[in-house]
Structure 1
Amino acid sequence: MKHIICSFLILFSLNTVYAQQKKVSEIQSKSSLAIKYYNEKDYEKALPLLRDVYGLTRNSTYYRYYITCMIELKQYDEAIREIQDELKKQKPPRPDYFIYWGQVLKAKGLKTEAAAKYREAIDNIQPNKGSYYTVANAFLANQEFELSRDVYLKAREVLPAEDFSYELARSYLYLRDNENMLEEYLNLLKRDPNHLPRVQSSLSSAMRLDIDDGLRDQFREQVLLRIQNEPDVIGYNRLLIWFLLQERKFASALRQSIAIDRRTGEEDQQIAVLGDMALRNKDYTEAKKAYKYLMDKGEQNSYYAQAYIRTLNASYLEYVNDFPDDVEKGKELAEQFSKGLEYLQLGPATLPLVREYAHLEAFYLRAPERGIEMLEKGIGIPGLKPEQIGELKTELADIYLYSNDQWEAMLLYSQVIDENKTNSLGDEVKLKKARLGYYMGNFKWAKAQLDVLKASTSKLTANDAMELSMMIGNNLNLDTTAVPLQMFARADLLFFQNRNNEAMAVLDSLGEQFPYNSLVDDILFRKAKLEIGQQNYALAAEYLQTIVNDFGYELLGDDAMYLLAELYNYDLDQKEKAKELYRDMLSDYPGSVYIEESRTKFRELRELLPDNENDKKMDKEEMFMKGIKLDEFE
């Protein structure tokens, strides 16, 4: 008898599980198809499926979609009967169903009756937080923003122990009531500083929608007033620092951060991050100030070594970008590197400094032997990984190439490739080796190597390989003589060796001897880069603009446009022009290797310089014509 009972129970359980699985499968298939039809606005097909899914799940979201379908199909009376029937089954009645009822009445043009149903929904809210959320969100979904606000204001009265600041702020955002929105966000931050990331994210979204910068002005006014009246609330200061960083006002942000740190002693990480942001944005002065502050706190500070390394890195980048021809500054920097590496000691953490120091000695101070000596010391550090040794050897090969010892450079490149077959460094150095063949005039061999590298997993390496391969192929095929290409390769080698004046002389000579050669856009691009090295940014921009205007369809079109955008962004301080160029990159060169960087920088600049309504309309029209997805610009 026990065996029979056990068998019956097992069979019953199996049937129950099977029935549940069948129900889940039916819900999944029907809901998926229903949402597909709904999104395609095929409401007649979506309607019966949504009714079935709601019957299986009793999920109000599907019911809302179901009622929306009936509204779109103008089945108003039937929709009202459906809602009335549902409300009769509910004890107590769910308030969001009164909102669906009001939605139907509003669609019929009965605004007064709809308002009454909306008010009935608010009157039927149960005295708990979840019920208020449900009703407010239902109003938001129907763009009844004032009613959503009213729900949360009522919730604040009924449930004084609960916090509805964030939800109220969101309602005020939709109502474009910036003053009250900011008030709620600041109140939230005052109660709990852990909400800072959430507030920052919400304000960032709000500021993107702010066309005339009115919100930014109100933000400054309200936050500064709060800081003045409530100096003990550190969250306000941190929010202001975030805002200053959005506007790239690193000096002001650093002053605020230091002021907080002197009160709390807890801002080391924020100051380090601020320094890194300034460094990425080429504001070397403020980056070094941030790192110096951390170093001034003493060697016991956990950020001391990191700040020391970053200081040397910032000084190096400042030198090569802003003072490449100032030998005295270069010697001072070399002395800083020497002292820094003596203190920090050679190790994995200081390898970037070893490479930069060696590069400085060889390429800028014309002392390749000191650069080689430094790199050999680095290579001798115990316990380095093959990739770390490979990076040092690659720099060593570059210095030998600088010294015109091309065969030693070729040997070192080959060693690095053999020792780094499973990482990205191997492909990067293969590109250097192929480029060396190009410098030496072995064009066919170099092109064969480059053609293989087109399939590199590194998008940047593949792009560079494709460009150089096509440039070699086009000019070998079109010209009866290889002389123009040989001269151009010679200029490229001089450019690599930092012998810019000689490189420019070769390019000028090439242009004079072969004025109609197919290398015209390449010559312009090289000249632009040489002028950037000389800080002649306006002249460089002219060369790049010529490429964009006259040779935009050529291989260097996207390179020229991106570099031009970078010039306007960082060197010519014309942010609006830079924003336009980054935006043009998205539409004109969607397959470019620079597309992700362009998208990121376009979004950053759009937060700083919001589009006006005409710009937004034009953007969307252009995107539609060019087939660009809207989310590229969101």
Structure 2
Amino acid sequence: MRHLLIILTFCSCGLLFSQSEQLANDYFKRGEFEKALLSYEKLNAKKKSSKYIYKIVATLQQLERYEEARDMILQRMKEINYPALLVELGYNYQLMDSTDLADKYYKEAILKVEEKPSYTYGIAKKFEDHSLLEQALQAYKKGMETNPDFNFNMQMARIYGEQGNIELLFSNYIDYIEIKPNFLSNAKRAFSDFVSENKDNENNLILRKLLLKKLQSSPEPYWYDMLSWLYIQQKEYNKAFTQEKALYRRNQESLSRILDLALATVKEKENEVANSIFQFILDNSQDIETRLTAHQYMLDIEIEKANKEQLDAIDDKFNQLFDQYGKYEQTIALQIAYGNFIAFHKHQPKDASDFLKKSLELQLSVFQEAKVKLKLGDILVFQERFNEALIYYTQIQANLKNSTISQEARFKVAKTSYYKGDFQWAESQLKILKASTSQLIANDALDLKLLISDNKDEDSLQTSLKLYSKADLMSFQNKNEEAIALLDKILTEHKGETIEDQALFMQAKLFEKTNQISKAVDNYEYIITNYRDEILADDAHYYLAELYQTKLDQPEKAKELYEKIIFNHEDSIYFIEARKRFRRLRGDAIN
């Protein structure tokens, strides 16, 4: 019991001491320096340490009591042999405008590095603490000259970055990577602050020159890796692919890096490069799963740009793959993709349903089965066989409770009920999904719930909302022109109602989909002008900016719109991306 009491007393004292230190630090941060000084002096009296002495000195300097600070430093120098105190003494003289004395002690500190290189970091760090960057560099360089086993390239690179000397920043990090290749990922993070998408940016050119020089003198894998990373930042995916191929030929154990690059090009809609990379994967991989992934992405790219005459050829390619790999559990993702293709592109939903029902007869895992049922439900919604679709979605919820795919199925239940015009039931499901673990599902659920709640009470028959949900269904069915016409009816017959901005926005997205860009611009501009305080204002700004940037080649107009999101819509989900794009258009380096 006595031992326990001692331990509790010790812990209690430690906690009080920690709280006292935090209080002193808070006083200092708030500029209450007299209170901070008193607190630090009490702490130092209880437990004398360099930490508190430095705090007392810093506080005295803030109070311009430089002589007292000097005396305290000199007293500490008598007590311990710590050359970093020379820097502190010099800095105190600098604050007293005694620059000659300050320089004297700075030089003396750097000479100590020469006497004993192990002092390097402590002295250089103290210079850095006082923003004496040139002196810090001198100390680090002197330490490395005196003891070649020391490496302070990383610390020096950081200082060069603060000074704006980007070439030396890059070269010091590169020298550090050469000694410690595991630092490569950290270097990429550091470099991302200084390079941009613009390949002609001066910093990009400097880094490229340094890396090519390293490759010529020492063709190590990490230089190919870093150069590939730079080309990806510049969106020069073909050049990145060249580096990745060189890396792969040196070590043919895995194609995962090349597959990651392929997926990045797909995301960026660089379809020609993506096809080249996927073909390389097919030529070099024996792994069935990897090969199937490559085949499926290549088919997706082909489907996206295909006209009606090309659909039969794509159908043949799917069936050739099934002949080659079979229709069993391992090809289930390809089977789902084929069902989607038949239903939504060839408009043969019955054939698609029949095909996927056969897939359900395989020995599938519960997750594979859920994915097939999810697609079957979508195809039934496409056919407006809503009740049958709801059965499949509900089965997924029952079999995989609380999973992401179960939440997705619940959202599809809500969406299907909304298509049917059963807005009350849809809303009840959407309320649950607002707390979904998937942010994407939660956002979609919130958007649909707001649409319903804002418009369901406009009239007792809910006429405009029913027309809108019908247009939404037509969009899902790829009946784009019919959906546009139905939205025109809403905009004519229900003008001024709360649904007007939603109808304008959906129609704008359909105009984009059907390449009627000028009409999409008109709709977005109408929303911005007439609904500037409504929920879709930031969406309209963002998508209009995207059109000006990517379709209309008017970057200045895009920049203005991104800037408006930054200053007028700080809570927008587009805020981060808008800020990134604005800075990119302005020519900044993007992290």
TM-score with structure 2 length normalisation?
A: 0.88
In structure 2, do the counterparts of structure 1 residues 473 and 190 end up closer, same or farther at CA, with 3 Å as the change threshold? closer
**Counterpart of 1:477 in 2: which secondary structure?**
coil
- Asked if the contact 2:137–2:156 (Cα under 8 Å) also holds between the matched residues in 1, the reply is yes
Structure 1 position 280 matched with structure 2 position 267: yes
Structure 1 position 250 matched with structure 2 position 230: no
- Asked if the contact 1:397–1:412 (Cα under 8 Å) also holds between the matched residues in 2, the reply is yes
Equivalent of 1:420 in 400, 417, 427? 400
Q: CA deviation at 1:479?
A: 3.4
Q: CA deviation at 1:583?
A: 6.5
Equivalent of 1:500 in 477, 480, 497? 480
Equivalent of 1:470 in 450, 453, 456? 450
Q: CA deviation at 1:160?
A: 1.5
In structure 2, do the counterparts of structure 1 residues 76 and 471 end up closer, same or farther at CA, with 3 Å as the change threshold? same
- Asked if the contact 1:491–1:503 (Cα under 8 Å) also holds between the matched residues in 2, the reply is yes
In structure 2, do the counterparts of structure 1 residues 247 and 138 end up closer, same or farther at CA, with 3 Å as the change threshold? same
Q: CA deviation at 1:241?
A: 1.1
Once the two structures are superposed, what CA deviation does each residue of 1:485-508 show, in whole Å capped at 9, x if it has no partner? 222222111111111121112112
Q: CA deviation at 1:165?
A: 2.4
Q: CA deviation at 1:61?
A: 4.3
Q: CA deviation at 1:138?
A: 1.4
Q: CA deviation at 1:365?
A: 0.7
Once the two structures are superposed, what CA deviation does each residue of 1:64-112 show, in whole Å capped at 9, x if it has no partner? 333221111111111111111111101xx21221222222222222222
Q: CA deviation at 1:171?
A: 2.6
Give the corresponding residue for 1:316.
Answer: 300
- Asked if the contact 1:166–1:185 (Cα under 8 Å) also holds between the matched residues in 2, the reply is yes
In structure 2, do the counterparts of structure 1 residues 442 and 23 end up closer, same or farther at CA, with 3 Å as the change threshold? closer
**Counterpart of 1:466 in 2: which secondary structure?**
helix
Q: Match of 2:175, as an amino acid? A: N
- Asked if the contact 1:583–1:599 (Cα under 8 Å) also holds between the matched residues in 2, the reply is no
Structure 1 position 522 matched with structure 2 position 510: no
Give the corresponding residue for 1:627.
Answer: none
Q: CA deviation at 1:448?
A: 4.0
**Counterpart of 1:553 in 2: which secondary structure?**
coil
Q: CA deviation at 1:253?
A: 0.7
- Aligned 1:21-40 pairs, distance under 5 A: 21=11, 24-40=14-30
Q: CA deviation at 1:510?
A: 2.7
Once the two structures are superposed, what CA deviation does each residue of 1:303-328 show, in whole Å capped at 9, x if it has no partner? x63243144135415633x44xx123
Give the corresponding residue for 1:439.
Answer: 419
In structure 2, do the counterparts of structure 1 residues 463 and 294 end up closer, same or farther at CA, with 3 Å as the change threshold? closer
Segment of structure 1 superposing worse, 552-561 or 55-64: 55-64
Structure 1 position 124 matched with structure 2 position 104: no
Percent identity of the aligned residues?
26
- Asked if the contact 1:431–1:465 (Cα under 8 Å) also holds between the matched residues in 2, the reply is yes
Cα distance between partner residues in 2 of 1:133 and 1:578: 48
Equivalent of 1:69 in 59, 76, 80? 59
Structure 1 position 86 matched with structure 2 position 76: yes
Cα distance between partner residues in 2 of 1:305 and 1:34: 61
Segment of structure 1 superposing worse, 123-132 or 369-378: 123-132
Cα distance between partner residues in 1 of 2:552 and 2:254: 33
- Asked if the contact 2:73–2:89 (Cα under 8 Å) also holds between the matched residues in 1, the reply is yes
Q: Match of 2:297, as an amino acid? A: N
- Asked if the contact 2:156–2:172 (Cα under 8 Å) also holds between the matched residues in 1, the reply is yes
Q: Match of 1:388, as an amino acid? A: Q
Q: Match of 1:375, as an amino acid? A: L
- Asked if the contact 1:583–1:602 (Cα under 8 Å) also holds between the matched residues in 2, the reply is yes
Cα distance between partner residues in 1 of 2:433 and 2:4: 58
Cα distance between partner residues in 2 of 1:603 and 1:134: 38
In structure 2, do the counterparts of structure 1 residues 351 and 528 end up closer, same or farther at CA, with 3 Å as the change threshold? farther
Cα distance between partner residues in 2 of 1:189 and 1:376: 55
Q: Match of 2:94, as an amino acid? A: K
- Aligned 1:536-575 pairs, distance under 5 A: 536-537=516-517, 539-564=519-544
Equivalent of 2:182 in 187, 194, 203? 194
Q: Match of 1:261, as an amino acid? A: Y
Give the corresponding residue for 1:214.
Answer: 202
- Asked if the contact 1:424–1:458 (Cα under 8 Å) also holds between the matched residues in 2, the reply is yes
Segment of structure 1 superposing worse, 182-191 or 78-87: 182-191
Cα distance between partner residues in 2 of 1:608 and 1:290: 29
- Asked if the contact 1:282–1:570 (Cα under 8 Å) also holds between the matched residues in 2, the reply is no
Cα distance between partner residues in 2 of 1:539 and 1:127: 76
Cα distance between partner residues in 2 of 1:216 and 1:293: 28
- Aligned 1:202-601 pairs, distance under 5 A: 202-207=190-195, 213-228=201-216, 230=217, 232-265=219-252, 268-299=255-286, 302=287, 305-316=289-300, 319-320=303-304, 322-323=305-306, 326-346=307-327, 350-385=331-366, 387-479=367-459, 482-537=462-517, 539-564=519-544, 585=565, 588-592=568-572, 594=573, 599=576
Q: CA deviation at 1:561?
A: 4.2
Cα distance between partner residues in 1 of 2:481 and 2:414: 25
Segment of structure 1 superposing worse, 328-337 or 502-511: 328-337
RMSD: 3.4
In structure 2, do the counterparts of structure 1 residues 53 and 472 end up closer, same or farther at CA, with 3 Å as the change threshold? same
Structure 1 position 46 matched with structure 2 position 39: no
Once the two structures are superposed, what CA deviation does each residue of 1:395-450 show, in whole Å capped at 9, x if it has no partner? 11111121122221232233233333322333332332232222223334434444
- Asked if the contact 1:292–1:307 (Cα under 8 Å) also holds between the matched residues in 2, the reply is no
**Counterpart of 1:422 in 2: which secondary structure?**
coil
In structure 2, do the counterparts of structure 1 residues 235 and 460 end up closer, same or farther at CA, with 3 Å as the change threshold? closer
- Asked if the contact 1:568–1:574 (Cα under 8 Å) also holds between the matched residues in 2, the reply is yes
Segment of structure 1 superposing worse, 457-466 or 277-286: 457-466
Structure 1 position 110 matched with structure 2 position 91: no
Q: CA deviation at 1:456?
A: 4.1
Cα distance between partner residues in 2 of 1:43 and 1:243: 48
TM-score with structure 1 length normalisation?
A: 0.82
Q: Match of 2:315, as an amino acid? A: A
Cα distance between partner residues in 2 of 1:152 and 1:110: 25
In structure 2, do the counterparts of structure 1 residues 465 and 585 end up closer, same or farther at CA, with 3 Å as the change threshold? same
Give the corresponding residue for 1:619.
Answer: none
Give the corresponding residue for 2:588.
Answer: 611
